[in-house]
Chains A and B, each alone.
Chain A
Amino acid sequence: MTTTHNGHEAPGAPATQEELTQELIHDARQTGPRMRRALWILALLTALGATAAILMMLGGLDDHTRWKYYAVAYFYVFSLVMGIPMAGIGLRFARAQWRRPTSRAAELFALAGPVMLVFFLPIMAAHPGLEGRNSLWMDWRLGPWFPDLIMLTAFVCIGLAFIYVSVLPDLAAVRDHGNGRSRNIAASLAYGWIGTARQWAMHKSALGILGAMYISAYAMTHTVFATDFAMVLTPGWKDPIFPAFHAVTGLQMGLGLFIVVQFALRKWGGLARYFELEQFWAYGRLLLALTLFWFYFFWSGFILFWYGRLPHEQQIIALLAFGDPAIDNLLARPQLWMFVGAIGLSFITAFLLIMWNPVRRSILGPAVVGVVIIVGNFFDRLRIYVNTWSIEQVGGHELHEIPTNIGYPGILEILVFVGMLSAVALMILLASRVVPFVSLWETREALLLRVVRPFGVGHAHIVAKPD
């Protein structure tokens, strides 16, 4: 392969293909003592979380209202991590060149799938079933357990297949250039890949197909989860946009976390030249769009409930947003505070910050907004799952009373929450010991497609656009 840079070096980027290989295969995968310690701590927290989940199951599955904070933790983490690979997939479909150094870090989050699958089992068992409730599954006895589990399993498998195909060329690179135990792992995973034209063509179409499947599975899993684990539990709540809201907010908080992850990789991962201002700026714009979507999808549902003035929909507004109107003291309405936290951070604060170009066009700006969004959407999942899982009433056209038995999470729930996050982090850090956080093949391809040439009085970047 020939290099195409014409002596006009863009600052920050590795100058040659060889440098890229050296940096990503050797330097970035060093496991120092600090990393080792982090891995052990994460493993410990994961184990604690799993134990806590088992203890909760032993405590009983009959009363689903006891599981509300588990539901919050699970669906929050699920929404947070499973949308991140979409940043890589979607931007590859859009042929955005700037995503190349970042897409691997996003796609690695597909590895959170098995964790989400394992932690799904208790909440699935705690689901009170569909008897006497509205549901998408009609009177099917196996719903929602069976279809939801199948959906999630399919989603997780697609994600794993996708990440495997995506890292395949890099596994081969590690096999060819790396050393140590990770080389052996990579070699056993990448045995057939030698980079023939035919293999690359298959790789390209496999990425396309699996990517499209991942997007569909993402949407469908969010649809069934949002419906079966929130809407179904609430009498009188029929809201077809809610699954879409759930999916879109999942993307928003995922992107928020992803920007924070990029910030961390830049600051502590030694990968600053891959997560550059250009990437932060572009992701900032995307974050702005998704923040606006947060509000749009919320508002599309809210305005109709509010405007229609149907009694059963007024109750849903009370449940999810304003709290019981019978309580005069606003401070005593927990629903109101969750709602204020959700919309105040996820939309209002985030939007007021990210709308300014100087904020987007910085490293710190999008990262700070990312944190705001992660926190805000925690309140959002709190408002959705705590409130719906507190309802004891089954069936009926209308929700009769707004639950007041919200309560606080116990130590087990907190351990589960921390354990889930640690497990996800552990999976990704372990994977990054084998393949780097920056895709070698995508960045090397970027170098091929990008040239700096004289243009007018200065220089310009030429980007090749192969079909």
Chain B
Amino acid sequence: MQDRPVLTASQINDELLWPVFELRRRHVLAFLPPFILVMAGAVAVTILIWQGLWITGLQRPAFWGFFIVNFVFWIGVSHAGTMISSILRLTQAEWKRPITRAAEVMTVFALVTSLIHPVIHAGRPWRIIYWLLPYDFTRGIWPDVRSPLVWDPVAITTYLTGSILFVFTALIPDFAIIRDQSTGMRRTIYGALAMGWRGTPRQWQLQGIFGILMSALILPVFVSVHSIVSWDFAASVVPAWHVTVYAPYFVIGAVHSGVSMVLTLMAFMRWIFKLENFIWEDHFDAVGRLLIFIATAWLFFFFLDFAFSFYTREEQEIAVMERRLLEWPFNAITIIMVMTSYVIPIPLWLNRKVRRNIALMFWTSILVNIGMWLERFFLIIPAIERKQELTFLWANYVPSLTESVIVLASFGMVAMLLIIFAKLVPLVPAWEQKEGQVFRSEVQIGEVTVPAIVRESEEPRAW
């Protein structure tokens, strides 16, 4: 079929490996905007640490602001990688092949980016070691394991380690391809990274077992990471934060925004690296279908959270809901959030033609992420602005320029890291593509030829 090109192994190598071996103008142009953003962000962070948190819009009672919202957002995005590679691997979804690596790498970079936020958000970043490491052996003072803020680094570093292992093992066969095609210094470096990969059956077998094992092991981490991030809020006694549904609500929201971000990334990859032969409309279609389900599950949890905030009719929660629904700018934010994260994209995605239209999928995925960013803002900020009745300090949090620049720069950082990464290794795993070519097949049904795949199994299957 025309939209599913048949490629030989050397064609796959050529089309995927060009960014590694040559530098085209397109690659540089893609690198520049995020790079400028990151530089602006670096300046902003320097000013922030030099001057202190007074240059943010934080005050009392809104002690947390944009940084925390952005932290939660990027942790959320990081759920894409595991969702795509682990869950789809376990469910044997064939269409995951070309997007696994990009999604996993985005996971790693999103985690790294998100980790910056709590550090710069702390009052004294230079003392952060008290928080992250049990260092004070002489006095026997350790981080307090009761604090959700200690669960966070534990969960996130576990997830980061797992994701890096995931990415790295999937990279080994591709390192070997680059090693075999290059000379000199590059050959030495990639040779070291390939760790003696020769592609023997045993090596492939081990790599396969590792993939399955890692997929299964990382799933509990995947769920716990965002649950724990949600407990940063829900474990408190702040009305409208102390909500039991937060853990699954945050996780499904994370998957929603993460998988949408993968859509954005897929479109960019197609445009920048000319990957039309690998990332097909079929893939957009499949991700779109998956997202309909995810978004609807998200809506269910949104509904639970929303409906139950009126359940006890307590003044404090009503005050927060009033802020969310009636007061500027939150009334606008709420409307935009619901529209962009569900009402606009989902009906569009129900249409097969839209799912196969890459430009539309790109823009709707951007919409979803605008919505999901605002969702975090919607959930986190009003609750502390309208915190308690024992204060006259109901405040409106207005983010400062510095904070906004850093938030923008975080997007630039993930993009920049991805573009640098694309210079080092192909964003589409070459070996997976070759495997996919081997497993692809066709079945003749009547007069129609239907694409098919080979299912590996040790025993004959009845069905």
Contact = CB atoms under 8 A, between A and B. Distances in A.
Do A and B assemble together? yes
Interface of A: 1-2, 4, 10-13, 93-94, 96-98, 100-101, 134-136, 138, 216, 219, 223, 227, 238-244, 273-274, 276-279, 285, 292, 296-297, 300-301, 303-305, 307-308, 310, 443, 446, 448-453, 455, 460-467
Interface string B187-218: 00000000000000000000000000000000
B441 interface: yes
B454 A455 contact: yes
Given A13-B463, A300-B244, A448 B308 contact: no
Contacts of A93: 293
Contact of A305 (B223, B244, B300, B304): B244
A10 B244 contact: no
B148 to A, nearest CB: 8
Given A135-B311, A304-B234, A465 B461 contact: no
B443 A4 contact: yes
A298 to B, nearest CB: 10
Interface in B196-254: 220, 223, 227, 231, 234-237, 242-248
29 contacts: A12-B460, A96-B91, A134-B313, A135-B311, A136-B311, A216-B296, A238-B312, A240-B244, A240-B304, A241-B245, A277-B459, A296-B227, A300-B244, A300-B245, A300-B246, A300-B248, A301-B244, A303-B231, A304-B231, A310-B242, A443-B463, A449-B445, A450-B463, A461-B454, A461-B460, A462-B455, A464-B445, A465-B94, A466-B445
Nearest to B90: A285
A463 B242 contact: no
A100 B308 CA distance: 39
Contacts of B441: 453, 462
Contacts, number: 151
A240 B305 contact: yes
B453 A219 contact: no
Interface of B: 90-91, 94, 220, 223, 227, 231, 234-237, 242-248, 285, 293, 296, 300-301, 304-305, 307-308, 310-313, 352, 441-446, 448, 450-457, 459-463
Given A11-B462, A13-B463, A97-B463, A304 B244 contact: yes
Nearest to A99: B463
A385 B218 CA distance: 36
Contacts of B460: 10-12, 452, 461
Contacts of A242: 244
B461 A238 contact: no
- Which of B285, B311, B451 counts the most chain A CB atoms within 10 A? B311
Contacts of A465: 94, 450-453
Closest 10 CB pairs of A and B: A464-B443, A240-B308, A300-B247, A240-B245, A464-B452, A301-B244, A464-B450, A241-B244, A13-B462, A241-B245
Nearest to B243: A240
Contacts of B293: 93
B341 to A, nearest CB: 18
Given A2-B446, A304-B234, A466-B450, A241 B462 contact: no
B180 to A, nearest CB: 24
A303 B448 CA distance: 55
A99 B392 CA distance: 60
Contacts of B452: 449, 451, 462-465
Contact of B463 (A216, A278, A300, A310): A278
Given A219-B300, A239-B308, A465-B452, 14 more contacts: A96-B91, A136-B311, A138-B310, A227-B311, A239-B244, A240-B245, A240-B304, A241-B248, A277-B459, A443-B463, A455-B454, A460-B456, A464-B443, A464-B445
A134 B307 contact: no
- Which of B220, B305, B352, B459 counts the most chain A CB atoms within 10 A? B459
A100 B245 CA distance: 34
A308 B242 contact: yes
Given A240-B244, A241-B248, A449-B450, A308 B463 contact: no
Given A297-B248, A300-B247, A465-B451, A98 B235 contact: no
Contacts of B247: 241, 296, 300
Given A304-B244, A450-B463, A461 B235 contact: no
A462 B237 CA distance: 56
A134 B311 contact: yes
Contacts of B304: 223, 240-241, 243-244
A296 B223 contact: yes
A101 B237 CA distance: 50
A12 B308 contact: no
A463 B310 contact: no
A256 to B, nearest CB: 21
Nearest to B460: A10
Contacts of A303: 231, 235
Contacts of A135: 311
Given A4-B443, A278-B462, A446-B463, A460 B454 contact: yes
A136 B308 CA distance: 7
Nearest to A232: B311
A465 B245 CA distance: 37
Given A455-B454, A465-B451, A100 B463 contact: yes
A4 B445 contact: yes
Contact of B443 (A98, A136, A451): A451
B461 A461 contact: yes
- Which of A285, A453, A461 counts the most chain B CB atoms within 10 A? A461
Contacts of A94: 91
Nearest to B456: A460
Contacts of A463: 452-453, 455
B455 to A, nearest CB: 5
A462 B311 contact: no
Contacts of B245: 240-241, 244, 300
- Which of B94, B245, B293, B446 counts the most chain A CB atoms within 10 A? B245
A448 B296 CA distance: 32
B237 A310 contact: yes
A453 to B, nearest CB: 7
Given A240-B305, A276-B463, A462 B443 contact: yes
Contacts of A461: 454-455, 457, 460-461
A391 to B, nearest CB: 16
Contact of A1 (B242, B243, B446, B463): B446
A178 B310 CA distance: 56
A351 B3 CA distance: 44
Contacts of A134: 311-313
Contacts of B248: 241, 244, 296-297, 300
Contacts of A11: 460, 462
Given A10-B461, A11-B460, A12-B462, A300 B227 contact: yes
Contacts of B451: 464-465
Contacts of B244: 239-242, 300-301, 304-305
A423 B319 CA distance: 49
A2 B305 CA distance: 53
Contacts of A467: 285, 352
B273 to A, nearest CB: 26
A100 B91 CA distance: 16
A138 B313 CA distance: 9
Nearest to B148: A307
A273 B304 CA distance: 43
A261 B247 CA distance: 34
Nearest to A10: B460
A285 B90 CA distance: 10
